[in-house]
Amino acid sequence: MTRRTQSILVPLGAIASGMLVFGVFVAMLGVNPFEVYGSIWKAAYGSWYSWQNTLVRASPLLLCGLCTSMPARAGIIVIGNEGALVAGGLGAIGAGLSTASSPPLVSLACMALAAMLSGGVWIAMSVALQHYRGVSAVISGLLLNYLAIALMNQLIEGPMRDPSSLNTPATYPLSADHRLGFFSGTHVHVGLLFGLVACLIAWFLVDWTTFGFALKVSGGNVRAARLVGLPVGRLVVMAGFLGGACAGLAGMIEVAAVHGRANESLNAGYGYTGVLVAFLSRQSAVGIIVVSLLVGGLLASSGMLQRAHELPDAAITVLQGILFLFILLSDTVYSRWKFTGGRASAVAA
Amino acid sequence: MLGAMAAPVLAGATPSQRPVVMGFLYNGPKNDLGYNQSHADGRNMLRALPWVRAFDEASVPETVAAEESMRDMVHQDGAAAVFATSFGYFDPFTIDIARENPAVQFFHCGGLYIENKHPKNIGIYFGFIDEVEYLSGMLAGLSTRTGKLGFVAAKPIPQVLRNINSFTLGARTVNPHVTTKVVFTGDWVLPVREAEASSSLADQGYDVLTGHTGSPRVIVQMAERRGVFACGYQFDQSSMAPRGFLTGAQWAWGTVYVRIAEMIREGKSVTDGTIPRRLTGTLKDQFCKLSPYGASVTPQSRDRIAAAKAAILDGSLEIYRGPVRDNRGNIQVPAGKVLKIVDVELDKMDYLVEGVDGSANG
């Protein structure tokens, strides 16, 4: 079995097993699992309307998936996506509100840049901590998530708060023409394009440039990379920055396209789900596009599961958790299969 | 004979006989023993009507997510009416989605609808629960030994101030020396702060605790633990305090939901005014009710409350009857004047009545 077929079959197997276990969970709640699968399909892909819902949710996932997959190529596991998204959202609203008198395109460009910078620095920090100081990026990233959320709460309840946002504290809103628009006749915002383009750029960067090759060498074997004279530290931190910039951009899209302001809903879990997306796609940028559509569809079906089957609102979170467990489990299967298909993988590598 | 039987079957296919599809969204979990559960409970009353298809979504945040949820209910389930039960769903989410879907009716619980500004397919519903708070306060006044009642409240908005005031007015009719201490927590769901505030009130000798938060279950629970009395709110919390529970003011949204379902079935609509824009009701209208009495409530107290309740039902007892003074000595309702459910003055209440220890500014 070639490496390519494996990298498709193993995640598919994990997803199938995850769905199966979720079916058992659902059956225990007294609901027919096949009807639930049917509802997920209907709510995610059953109609053009449902597709739009899926695409809206896939859009931040594309970018948040890249946040984990870029540094993963350099051998570092990043799960601080939520923090980077929130930091990016805050950067974006800061830039957007302070350029409110500029032309919309200028303002949006400033927002995107500020978001990418904030998100990028956020992740680069935790990657640098691991590379130079030996602090696990998993731990620091996780802790930085809480920091970002606390910072956001402080800002939206304090200095940046719009006094008229009585119920849900929020910043001042962006004016309507300073927001990202929708594809005509749909409720899908153009932020989707950002995600798709970012995935294609990431794919090109990692698979077709010397930078990408150097990244993979550093990720594969740090000592070998140093021996051939690669600036490992810079490469790794750069990969972290690029990943974080993507998550930051997702924050900008949430602010500029979805909410029109920053509030606690920035912290809606897209960052965490992005980790799942990256692992499901086996850190492949093109894979992320497919997996985002899949996971975006699951997220879009959450309401339908409640409405049609009276399942608890956490049902989709449970499914995500199960899927993640199976993906981690499948990694062990992977390394075992490598022995039998070793020749093929060695050639492919 | 067969033909006669077939006729109604055929008639069953006409549009008016299609099920009335109603969607509900709540801000928190359906089992919070508080506000959200009171709505979910109301929605469950619709199960008795075979011609209604009702469904809901819980824990929908007061953000664009609410708008998406309502849009899905319309587009994916064909909802004829959507019920946005949380205050923060109204502006801008319900307004936007109602504009987008003029053929669907939207009902919002307690929103501030502005004529000519907001779309016509939005209706508002709410209840005059002040009357029940008044009765609950009377029972608190009859039960307290120290004469000190504790009220843990979320935010100093008119709805909350009305409840603090009616509770205190009720208590002071049976014992004019009773005072109510108010502690504001700052938000609707802050269980830890609610528990701390309740415990601290118990320490200071407040021997009946109640509150107005998303769900005062924590307040009731803490009262039980500290061995003082408790009055509930929003939903029946008697199970949280088997010893010290007195009673509570709780919603009966089922009445509202069944009534609106019937009106929709008859082809009525809030858009053309055949369903009232503002649907509000009193204790008599069964929009709200008194929770079952706890074990510690004496028969004499039960009789007094029953008498007062009867007086409210027959209209002889009106709870906001002047003179009503605020706790800074100003007359707020002059003698001879009565505030009724329809008075918009109530929706703007910004003071605490005499006998309340606390500030309306939070």
CB A261 within 8 A of CB A162: yes
* Shortest alpha-carbon distance between residue A205 and chain B (Å): 35
User: Cβ A263–B63 below 8 Å, yes or no?
Assistant: yes
What is the predicted pLDDT for the residue at B18? Answer: 84
What is the predicted pLDDT for the residue at A337? Answer: 59
User: Cβ B23–A313 below 8 Å, yes or no?
Assistant: no
Mutate to test the interface with A, among B76, B100, B155, B157 (most CBs of A within 10 A): B76
Assign A126 a pLDDT band (cuts: 50, 70, 90): very high
* Residue pairs between chains A and B whose CB atoms are closer than 8 Å: 54
ω into B323 cis (within 30 of 0)? yes
What is the predicted pLDDT for the residue at B265? Answer: 95
Torsion sign over Cα A223, A227, A228, A234 = positive
Answer yes or no: is pLDDT of A338 > 70.
no
Provide mean pLDDT across the span A302-314: 93
Searching chain B, which residue's CA lies closest to the CA of residue A258? Answer: B64
**Which of B55, B63, B76 has the CB atom closest to A259's CB atom?**
B63
Q: Does B96 touch chain A (CB under 8 A)?
A: no
Residue A122 CB coordination number (10 Å): 31
**Which of A167, A263, A313 has the CB atom closest to B57's CB atom?**
A313
User: Cβ B58–A306 below 8 Å, yes or no?
Assistant: yes
Which pTM was predicted?
A: 0.88
* Shortest alpha-carbon distance between residue A239 and chain B (Å): 33
**Which of A187, A265, A304 has the CB atom closest to B65's CB atom?**
A265
Assign A10 a pLDDT band (cuts: 50, 70, 90): confident
Amino acid at A185: G
What is the predicted pLDDT for the residue at A342? Answer: 44
d(CA B168, CA B327): 11
User: Cβ B72–A53 below 8 Å, yes or no?
Assistant: yes
Looking at the DSSP assignment, which residues form a beta bridge with residue B126?
Answer: B280
What is the predicted pLDDT for the residue at B342? Answer: 85
d(CA A301, CA A295): 10
Residue A234 CB coordination number (10 Å): 12
CB B189 within 8 A of CB B220: no
Residues of B in Cβ contact (< 8 Å) with A43 = 72, 76
**Residue A140, Cβ density class (10 Å: 0-12 exposed, 13-18 middle, ≥19 buried):** buried
Residues of B in Cβ contact (< 8 Å) with A187 = 71
**Which of A43, A168, A312 has the CB atom closest to B88's CB atom?**
A168
ipTM of the complex: 0.85
Q: A135-173 pLDDT, tens per residue?
A: 999 999 999 999 999 999 999 988 898 887 766 788 999
User: Cβ A306–B57 below 8 Å, yes or no?
Assistant: yes
State the 10-residue block means of pLDDT for chain B, 362 residues long.
40 61 96 96 96 95 92 96 94 94 96 92 95 97 97 93 97 96 93 97 97 96 97 96 96 96 95 94 95 96 97 95 94 94 87 95 78
What is the predicted pLDDT for the residue at A347? Answer: 40
Answer yes or no: is pLDDT of A215 > 80.
yes
Q: Does B77 touch chain A (CB under 8 A)?
A: yes
CB B300 within 8 A of CB B143: no
d(CA A212, CA A205): 5
What is the predicted pLDDT for the residue at A53? Answer: 95
User: Cβ B64–A312 below 8 Å, yes or no?
Assistant: no
Residues of B in Cβ contact (< 8 Å) with A47 = 76
User: Cβ B62–A43 below 8 Å, yes or no?
Assistant: no
What is the predicted pLDDT for the residue at A336? Answer: 63
User: Cβ A167–B87 below 8 Å, yes or no?
Assistant: yes
CB B248 within 8 A of CB B237: yes
Searching chain A, which residue's CA lies closest to the CA of residue B68? Answer: A53
Assign A178 a pLDDT band (cuts: 50, 70, 90): very high
What is the predicted pLDDT for the residue at A50? Answer: 96
Q: Does B59 touch chain A (CB under 8 A)?
A: yes
Give the per-residue SS3 of chain B: CHHHHHHHHHHCCCHHHCCEEEEEECCCCCCCCCHHHHHHHHHHHHHHCCCEEEEEECCCCCCHHHHHHHHHHHHHHCCCEEEECCHHHHHHHHHHHHHHCCCCEEEEECCCCCCCCCCCCEEEEEECCHHHHHHHHHHHHHHCCCCEEEEEECCCCHHHHHHHHHHHHHHHHHCCCCEEEEEECCCCCCHHHHHHHHHHHHHCCCCEEEEECCCCHHHHHHHHHCCCEEEEEECCCHHHCCCCEEEEEEECHHHHHHHHHHHHHCCCCCCCCCCCCEEEECCCCCCEEECCCCCCCCHHHHHHHHHHHHHHHCCCCCCEECCEEECCCCEEECCCCEECCCCHHHHHCCCCECCEECCCCC
Look up tokens 């809606």; give the residue. Answer: A268
The contacts of residue A101 (CB under 8 Å, 6+ apart) are none
